[in-house]
């Protein structure tokens, strides 16, 4: 009985075909290396095609796996469709889709141009929807896994990140519904929620007018590394996990928010107020 349950619940990544969006930097790049270490073959999508090709070449040389770089802007539905088609043309199947591409923002809603919120939603939410729509028929055939790299901000609204939190709440709702719809199809849907992670997401965050802010306003050295996040996600995929909430702080916040939401409002406010050049007065 135990052996049968292990077979159903556990999968090895060796020789699996995995698509990763936003694979040219941060968590996406770390995921590519973590999956390659475990023997997976990869389809990497990102806007930065030259960087992506360099990463792909490194992965092939270092780990003796197969890897394909595809230029893809997840805001464009046709790019997402092309990414999935290229994966099928090259490998003939898809076992795992990791919706990782994402951007953030930093501006109070009262000050922010609405175009900033739309830009964040287009990448984080619609990018996930587009890629999943085209990959799902193939993942149903392999009884594979759809992963969304969400955030603790998808459980609790973060001040100065209205568009980011909204996009991650939307992503969580989409993935949750997809999971229920596919309860009996054999596929798995994993929502991965890192806490604050040391990556380039904050330096690339959009300010109130839509320009990249250019530097992090937080203490990156105290954060979880993207490599650590990648390992947790890879383990979660192999174990066919449902939800991954990372960092003790993140787990505590999600738990407390269920029972003491007013307290968490204050705690979150005070945490964000400690940022460099805080937007909160």
Q: Does domain 2-252 have CATH number 3.30.360.10?
A: no
Q: pLDDT for 120-142, tens place per residue?
A: 999 999 999 999 999 999 999 99
Helix (H) / strand (E) containing 169: helix 162-181
* Position 3 pLDDT exceeds 60: no
- The mean per-residue pLDDT over the stretch 61-66 comes to 97
Q: How confident is the model at residue 223 (pLDDT cuts 50, 70, 90)?
A: confident
Number of H helices, E strands in the chain: 10, 9
pLDDT of residue 243: 96
Q: What is the mean pLDDT of the chain?
A: 91
Active-site residue flag, 130: no
Angstrom distance (rounded) from CA 46 to CA 50: 10
Q: Is it the case that residue 249 has pLDDT exceeding 90?
A: no
**φ, ψ for residue 104, nearest 5 deg:** -125, -175
Residue 182: CB atoms within 10 Å: 17
Q: Which of 7-21, 144-158, 234-248, 257-271 has the lowest mean pLDDT?
A: 7-21
- Residue 22, SS3 per DSSP: coil
Helix, strand, or coil (residue 44): strand
Predicted confidence (pLDDT) at residue 207 exceeds the cutoff of 80: yes
Chain center to CA of 129: 13
Does the pLDDT value for residue 2 go beyond 60?
no
Our measurement of the distance from residue 199's CA atom to the centroid of its chain's CA atoms, rounded to an integer in Å, reads 13
pTM of the model: 0.91
Please determine, for residue 263, whether its predicted confidence score (pLDDT) is greater than 70: yes
Average pLDDT over residues 165-169: 98
Question: Structural domain boundaries of the chain?
Answer: 2-252
The one-character DSSP state at 212 is: B
Active-site entry in 63, 134, 155, 164: 164
Instruction: Put residue 138 in one of left, alpha, beta given phi > 0 → left and psi -120 to 50 → alpha.
Output: alpha
Q: Which residues pair with 7 in a beta bridge?
A: none
The predicted-structure confidence for 33-60, as pLDDT tens digits, reads as follows 999 999 999 999 999 999 999 999 999 9
pLDDT at 5 over 50: no
What angle (nearest 5°) sits at the alpha carbon of residue 230, between those of residues 228 and 234? 120
Rounded to whole angstroms, the Cα distance separating 66 from 5 reads 30
Average pLDDT (237-250) is: 94
The Cα-based distances of 26 to 66, 103, 212 in angstroms read 21, 11, 16
Banded pLDDT at 1 (limits 50, 70, 90): very low
């Amino acid at each position: 009985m135990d052996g049968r349950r292990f077979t159903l619940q556990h999968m090895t990544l060796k020789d699996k075909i995995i698509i990763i969006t936003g694979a040219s930097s941060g968590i996406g790049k770390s995921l590519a290396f973590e999956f390659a270490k475990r023997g997976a073959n990869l389809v990497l999508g990102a806007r930065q095609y030259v960087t992506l090709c360099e990463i792909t070449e490194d992965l092939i040389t270092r780990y003796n796996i197969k890897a394909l770089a595809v230029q893809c802007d997840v805001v464009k539905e046709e790019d997402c469709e092309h990414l999935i088609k290229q994966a099928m043309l090259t490998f003939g199947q898809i076992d795992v889709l990791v919706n990782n591409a994402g951007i953030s923002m930093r501006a109070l809603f009262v000050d922010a141009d609405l175009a900033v919120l739309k830009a964040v939603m287009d990448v984080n939410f619609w990018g996930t929807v587009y890629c999943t729509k085209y990959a799902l028929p193939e993942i149903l055939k392999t009884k594979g896994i759809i992963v969304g790299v969400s955030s603790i901000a998808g459980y609790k609204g973060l001040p100065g990140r209205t568009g980011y939190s909204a996009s991650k709440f939307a992503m969580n709702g989409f993935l949750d519904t997809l999971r229920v719809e596919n309860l009996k199809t054999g596929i798995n849907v994993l929502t991965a929620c890192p806490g604050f992670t040391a990556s380039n997401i904050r330096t690339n965050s959009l300010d109130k007018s839509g320009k990249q802010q250019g530097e992090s306003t937080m203490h990156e050295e105290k954060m979880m590394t993207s490599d650590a996040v990648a390992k947790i996600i890879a383990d979660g995929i192999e174990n066919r996990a449902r939800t991954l909430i990372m960092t003790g702080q993140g787990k505590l916040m999600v738990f407390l928010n269920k029972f003491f939401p007013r307290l968490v409002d204050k705690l979150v406010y005070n945490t964000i107020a400690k940022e460099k050049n805080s937007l909160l007065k």
